[in-house]
Structure 1
Amino acid sequence: MTPPFRSWFGRTDLAVAAGVLLLVDVLRVWLPSIITIFGQAASTPAELMGAFALAWFVGAAAAVPLAARLGPPRVALAGAVGLACARLALIFVHGGQPQLYLASAGLLLGLAWLIATAAGGASAGVGVPVGLAASALQHAALGTVDLSWRPWWWAAPIALAECAVLVAATRTARFGTRTGGGWLLVGPALLLGGMYALSPAVAGVAASYGAQGYASTPPLAVPQLAIGLVALAFLAVALVPRLPAALSGPAGRVAAAAALVASAALFAWDFGAPAPLWLALLLGAPSLALALRLASGRAGRRAGYAAAGGMLIFAVAAIAYYAAYDIGYPNRWVPAAVALVAAVSLVRSGAPAPDGPRIGRGGWAAIAAACLLLPLAGTAAPVEASVGKGGSIRLVEYNIRMGFGLDGTYRPAEAARAIAAQHPDVVVLSEVDRAWLLNGGHDDLAVLARILGMRYLFGPAADAVWGDAVLTRLPVGAVESRPLTAAGAPTGAQALGAIVTYGGREIAIVSTHIQPPPDAEPLVQAREIAAFATSFAGGRPTVIAGDLNITPGSTSLGEFEAAGYADGLAPFRPVRTFPADRPAEEIDHVLVRGLTCASVIVGTAVTSDHALVAATCG
C-alpha cells in the first residue's frame, strides 16, 4: 500500500528539493574557490587541489555512523541548519580564505544533511529532480549569475526564504516511513545536470553556435526558452503520478540507462556542434529524471553510504574532467563514464518504481508557467548596430580569467563598468568561460555582452565553452575561428578574426590568447596567428590583440614584426598588465598593421588577474 504522503508533494520531498537547491548554490561558490583561492589558477599543483577537494567528500561519510548513533532526524536537521547558515552567509562573505572555508563548511554540512536524509528512508526520486529543476530555472532567470554575486538587499531575502523552507521541511519530514532509493545516482545527476543536461549556459552555447566553427549572439530568448522546455520535460518525468507500464519495469530501467549514456556520449562527441549538443540536452534531462525515479534501494546505512558514494563520484569525476586542462590528458570520456556507472546502478535496481505525487491541472499549469516564464527574466533586449564616426576605433583588450578576480569573487558588473569606462567600439577578451561547472556554470560572455549592450563573437579553444571573444556594436562582416597548433598547453589556443566597419572603413580584428610551451618561446603559434591575420584581413587595416604571454623584445614578438605587425604599445611603455593588483609584466599586447595606437590606458580594476588595456587605433 502506498504511504499516504506519496499522494502529494510532501514535506520529505520538499526538504530534499530545498536541500538540493541550496547544495548546488554552495557548490557554485565552492568549486571556483578551489581554483581561484586555494589553487590560485594553476599556480598550485593539481594533485594538491584535488586532495583538498576530495577531503571534504570523504569526511562527509562520517555522517552515516553519526546518524546511526544520534538518529537520522537529528543529524539531518543539524546539517540543514548548517547548510542554510552557510548559504545565507555567502551572500555577504566574498573573497579570500573566508569565502573558501565558509563554502567548504557549507558543502560538508550539506553533504551531512544529504547522507542523513538518505539514511532516514527518504527517496531521491521526486525531491532531487525538483531541486535540480528549481536550481536550473533560478540560474536561468538570474542570467547564470548566482544569488551569491548579486546585491545583498534583494538576494538575501530570496536565499533566506529558501533556507527557511529547508529547515522547516527537514524538521517536520517523516523519516523512517518508506524505503529510500536512488541515492547513489544523486552525485552523477548533479554532475551531468550541471555540466550539460540542466545547464542554462550550455543551452545558450547550443543556441549560439552555427556551422562555421564560431559562436555569435543567438536570437532573443532562444536559450531561455530552451532550458525552460528542458526543465519542463525533466519535471514531467519526475512528477507524473504513474509511469506507463513499459517504463516502470526492467525494460524502462534499461531504456533510461541507455538514453543517459547516449546523452553523455553526444555531449562528449562534438561539444561545438549544435545538433549533438541539443540532442544531449533534450535526451539527458528526461533520462536523468527517469533514472532517479526508477532507482531503488534500502534505507538505513546502505542508503547513507550510497549518497556518500554518489557524491564521491561527483567529486572524483569533476576533478578528473577539469584537471585535464592543467595536466593535459583526454577528458571527454569522463561524462560518459559517470553516466555508465549510473546506468549500471539503475539496471541492477530491482524494486518497482514508486508512484509520483498527485498534481492537478492547476498545479501542472503553474509548473509549466514557471518553466517557460521564469527563465525569460534573464533575457536582454536586442542590440542595434552602430556604424560609428571618425577614422579611429577605441579598443579594449582584457583577459577576464573566467570572470573571477584575484580574491576569488565573481564580479561581472564591475568588470563591465571597467570596460565601459573606456567607451570602446570593440572589446577583445581572453580566457572566456561560457559554461564550465568548475567555475559555477556562468556564461561570462553572455553576461558581459548583456551588461555592455554589445553583440558577441566567440572562438573556442580548450573546448566549445572556453576560448576568446570579440564584443562590438559595429557592423560585422566576415568571421572566422582558426585553431592553433598545440604547444604543450592543455587548454589549447585559437585565433578569432572579425571584419568590423567603422565610419565606412573596414578593419580586421583578431582576438587570440597564446599558450606557450613550458620554458620555451611560442614561435609556432606566433607565426600561425600572423599568417592567419594576414590571410583573413585581405589587405585591410588589422589589429591583433590579446594575452599573448610574451614580453617586449622576445623572439616571438619579433615574428609578428617580421610579418608586418607593429607593436602598437611600444611608444607608451611600460604598459604592465600582470598581475592586476601590482602589475610587473607586459604580456598583453595590441599589434597593428596599417594603423597606429594612441591614448593607451592600463585599467586599475582587479576583477581578473590581468589589467585591461585600452587603445585608440586609427
Structure 2
Amino acid sequence: MKCKTVLSLLFFCMLIVDVNGQSTLKLMSYNIHHGVGLDERLDFNRIAKVINRKRLDVVALQEVDSVTQRTGGRDLLGELGKLTGMQHVYASAISFDGGKYGIGLLCRKKPLAIRKIPLPGREEPRMLLIAEFEDYVFCCTHLSLMEDDQLTSVEKIVKLLENEKKPVFLAGDLNAEPDSPTMMAFKEKFVVLNGEKGKTIPADNPQSCIDYILGYVANDSRYSVITNYVVNEPVASDHRPVFVSVCIL
C-alpha cells in the first residue's frame, strides 16, 4: 500500500514538472523607453530588476537603443541580457543618434530561428521580430502611430503566420486601444491574453491600454491563462509592463 502511495506521489510530481516545464510559459511585454524612467534617469538595472522578479521565458522589449549617444554608447539589450542571464535578440528599425533604435527579445532558451520583417510606419519605419522555439513561436513588434499603417501591419503579420502550425504569441506596444479598428482586426485571428482592462500608459497614472500579449488562434491553437496583470512599476519607463502566465493546450 505504501509503495502504491509513493508511486502515485511520484507520478503526480512528474505531471507538475511536465506542465510547468513544457506547457506553461511566463511572458512579458515592456516598452522600456530606452532605459530612461519618468524621473529622467537612465537606469538599466531597474529594468532588469522588473524582469528578474518574474523568472520569465520570453520578454518582448520596445524602444531599445543600441550604442546611441543618449545612452552613452552602451548596448542596452546586451547589458540587459547579462543582468538577467537571458539570451538576447535585437532588430533595429532605424539608425538613430549615432547608433540604432528598435525592438528586441530576452529569452531563457536560444531560438531555433529568427526572422526580421519590416513593417510600415509613416512617422518612422517599424519592425516585426519572429523567434521560433521548439514548441511555439514568439513575435515582438512596436506598431506605427498611424491607424492605416497599423491595419496594413496586421494584414502583413496575419499573412506571414497563415501556414504556421505551432502556437504563436505576438507581444508589443501596438499603439492601439482595445476597441480600436486595429485591435478588432487582430481579434479576428488572435485572442488577447493579457486582458483589456489593465492600463499601461502613462506609467505613473495609467489611463490607456496599448501594450498586449496575444495568442494566435487561426491555426486552432488554444491557450489557458493562469494569471495576467499589469506590473505595478510607475517609474522605470513611461509604460508599465504586461505579464501573462499561460498554458498551451
Letter in 2 for 1:510: C
Contact 2:31 2:241 (8 Å CA) reproduced: yes
CA distance in 2, matches of 1:550, 1:389: 33
CA change 1:432–1:567 in 2 (3 A) is same
Counterpart of 1:555 in structure 2 is: 181
Letter in 1 for 2:144: Q
Q: In proportion to residue count, which structure has more strand? A: 2
CA distance in 2, matches of 1:534, 1:498: 16
Counterpart of 1:215 in structure 2 is: none
Counterpart of 1:458 in structure 2 is: 90
Higher relative contact order (CA 8 A, sep 6+): 2
CA distance in 2, matches of 1:476, 1:465: 22
Letter in 2 for 1:547: D
Match of 1:567 among 185, 189, 192: 192
What's the offset of the Cα at 1:603?
A: 1.4
What's the offset of the Cα at 1:567?
A: 1.5
- Secondary structure (helix, strand or coil) at the match of 1:466 reads strand
Contact 1:458 1:468 (8 Å CA) reproduced: yes
Unaligned runs of 5+ in 2: 1-19
CA distance in 2, matches of 1:575, 1:520: 25
What's the offset of the Cα at 1:439?
A: 3.4
Matches within 5 A, 1:534-553: 534-535=162-163, 538-553=164-179
Length-normalised TM-score, structure 2: 0.82
Letter in 1 for 2:168: T
CA distance in 2, matches of 1:546, 1:589: 6
Counterpart of 1:430 in structure 2 is: 62
What CA deviation, in whole Å up to 9, does each residue of 1:376-414 have, x standing for no partner? xxxxxxxxxxxx713111001100001100111011111
Counterpart of 2:130 in structure 1 is: 497
What CA deviation, in whole Å up to 9, does each residue of 1:458-499 have, x standing for no partner? 11212372111111121421210000123x222x21100001
CA distance in 1, matches of 2:224, 2:64: 27
Counterpart of 1:507 in structure 2 is: 136
Letter in 1 for 2:206: P
CA distance in 1, matches of 2:202, 2:38: 9
CA distance in 1, matches of 2:158, 2:68: 30
Contact 2:193 2:228 (8 Å CA) reproduced: no
Letter in 1 for 2:169: V
Q: Does structure 1 residue 531 correspond to structure 2 residue 159?
A: yes
Counterpart of 2:14 in structure 1 is: none
What's the offset of the Cα at 1:521?
A: 6.8
Q: In proportion to residue count, which structure has more helix? A: 1
Letter in 1 for 2:183: L
- Secondary structure (helix, strand or coil) at the match of 2:152 reads helix
Contact 2:174 2:211 (8 Å CA) reproduced: yes
Identity of aligned residues (%): 27
What is the RMSD computed on CA atoms of the aligned residues?
1.8
What CA deviation, in whole Å up to 9, does each residue of 1:316-348 have, x standing for no partner? xxxxxxxxxxxxxxxxxxxxxxxxxxxxxxxxx
Contact 2:45 2:83 (8 Å CA) reproduced: yes
Letter in 1 for 2:133: V
CA change 1:521–1:507 in 2 (3 A) is same
- Secondary structure (helix, strand or coil) at the match of 2:185 reads helix
Match of 1:603 among 207, 226, 231: 231
CA distance in 2, matches of 1:532, 1:440: 37
Q: Give the greater-gyration-radius structure (CA).
A: 1
What CA deviation, in whole Å up to 9, does each residue of 1:100-149 have, x standing for no partner? xxxxxxxxxxxxxxxxxxxxxxxxxxxxxxxxxxxxxxxxxxxxxxxxxx
Counterpart of 2:115 in structure 1 is: 480
What's the offset of the Cα at 1:527?
A: 1.8
- Secondary structure (helix, strand or coil) at the match of 1:402 reads helix
Counterpart of 1:578 in structure 2 is: 201
Q: Does structure 1 residue 587 correspond to structure 2 residue 210?
A: yes
What's the offset of the Cα at 1:520?
A: 5.8
- Secondary structure (helix, strand or coil) at the match of 1:390 reads helix
Length-normalised TM-score, structure 1: 0.34
The size of the alignment, in residue pairs, is 219
What CA deviation, in whole Å up to 9, does each residue of 1:338-364 have, x standing for no partner? xxxxxxxxxxxxxxxxxxxxxxxxxxx
CA change 1:569–1:523 in 2 (3 A) is same
What's the offset of the Cα at 1:617?
A: 2.2
